[in-house]
Amino acid sequence: MIFINSSFPNSQLVHRALTFFFITTLLASCSSFTHHKPDAANTEALVIIDPVNQQPAEPEQKLMAPGQNEDGSYNSIWDRIRNGYGLPEVNNDPINNQLRWYSNNQGHVNHFTAQCQPYLYYVVSEMETNGLPLELALLPIIESSYDPTVMSPSHAAGIWQFIPQTGKNFGLKKNNWYDGRKDVVASTEAAIRYLKKLHTMFDNDWLLAIAAYNAGEGTVYRAIEKNRRAGKPTDFWSLPLSKQTQSYVPHLLALAKVISDPKQYDLTLNPVANDPYFVKINVASQINLAQAAKLSAIDAGELKKLNAGFNGWLTHPTEACPVLVPIADAAAFTLQLESLPKLAIKQWQEHTVKKGDTLSSIAKHYGVSVDTITTINNVKKSSLRLGQQLQIPLSAPFMDPSMTAADELLAARKLQKEAGKTSYYTVKPGENLSGIAKAQNISRDTLAQLNHLSATSKLKPGQKILMLSQSTSEQHSSATSSSPRRITYTIQAGDTLFKIANRFNVTTKEILEWNQVKDESYIHPNQELIIMIPAKG
């Protein structure tokens, strides 16, 4: 160490010189350290990477969620739901009480797993698209057991149990023909909007949002304010809410635990495939769902339940609408759309049920049958009530001599379920609609109609094309070679099957076969019959 005596002559000059010397030496040391090449003794402490000789790293193992396939898909919808949970994990007595109930009610679990099969995939997909926790897809189990036809004593309807005013607030239409609260697609979209709104209103607290879905946002807000004024906590578990709402949130959280691990609660969860069940097919004009089901070989009850939004068997007379159809039946349904008889009904009379009215007196007054009124309005013969609105058809004879390839297919084929399944074809580079149709032994126009395309539509590689099953294609090929002319006849008062057969030079047996009717007792005035006029030789 060097000491500088301040009394030494020119000491300040010497001080500055020494300072400069130290700084210069320090910089030189740093420079030599930065560029110093390690000697052999130091190389062991360094990692030297040779880009030529480096061994390839082991591929990183992709972490898969339980029940998830390598491509990210799930075989079971339950696995998909479990891996999308987002609600807080809570364990308390109210939840344990619900779990004990479920442990003793395997029958209820069987019921809702069967009931939800047509709808759960759609609801889960919509929840995922909107970034919502997938426990919310279980709410319709609590609300309705996933039954779109359920109506509560307080007039809440559908799988999400919207009351009329809330349904209206979220854009669900309701008229004499249609109730959007029972429409699975429309009501699910509305429920998602409502749940997202509640989540925002209650500062992103899902338990409060779910409570508000049950009790109403005003009720939950008032309970929060009451606790705040009293200096009490304002979380869900601390709020003074009704017993129903106090059990509603624990019920959902308990149900989520059951779905997560049913064996823990001595329960069996019936499998539900992670596949879409239905497709939407746009219908431009009014159709009769019962007739469409019969022509498409679809179970009429299933088609009606998928489309529970329609109050009766008829779709809206003036508005285009989507109809939900099982994927397995989409091809047959699409092909028969244009061949459905144009409804003879041109005008409707709305009748309000008055004191003393009976179905017989109403039918006689308007000149229609009781069966026509009950079928169109989807009512039972003993269920009339004062003030009820009934749609009454005012009809006229109608014939449609036009015939399409689809008409020929439907008239010729047997109305039974096909052994084959509807399938999809993946378009390859360079392929077009004509080439694919030729390979499938159907016409280009039929294939275009089946996929809602124009005959000249350009296809993209990888595009999915809906195909007919082999049995349908064979029926189509044979049917289009026939040449009878198809008409639709509306039965008039006083008609008999024998008279109708004579009028068109056919047999009564043929009429029964064409319309899949057992005997004459199943026909009535205003009903439409398909008649195949023999080709003139």
Do the beta carbons of residue 198 and residue 337 sit within 8 Å? no
- Report the alpha-carbon angle 321-327-329, nearest 5: 85
From CA 168, how far away is CA 427, in angstroms rounded? Answer: 43
Reduced 3-state DSSP string for 301-314: HHHHHHCCCECCCE
Do the beta carbons of residue 525 and residue 491 sit within 8 Å? yes
226's tokens: 């009451």
Do the beta carbons of residue 389 and residue 399 sit within 8 Å? no
479: Cβ contacts below 8 Å, ≥ 6 apart:
408, 409, 410, 411, 412, 413
- Which H helix or E strand runs over 94? helix 93-103
47's tokens: 């990692």
> What does the DSSP assignment read for 178-234?
BBGGG-HHHHHHHHHHHHHHHHHHTTT-HHHHHHHHHH-HHHHHHHHHHHHHTT---
Determine whether 44 is an active site residue.
no
From CA 264, how far away is CA 274, in angstroms rounded? Answer: 23
From CA 265, how far away is CA 258, in angstroms rounded? Answer: 7
Q: Which residue in 376, 400, 409 sits closest to 477, CA to CA?
A: 409
- Cα torsion angle, 339, 345, 347, 352, sign: negative
Q: Catalytic pick from 135, 143, 418, 528?
A: 143
20: Cβ contacts below 8 Å, ≥ 6 apart:
none
> What does the DSSP assignment read for 256-304?
HHHHH-GGGGT------BSS--EEEEEE-S--BHHHHHHHHT--HHHHH
Instruction: Give the residue numbers annotated as catalytic, written as ranges.
Output: 143
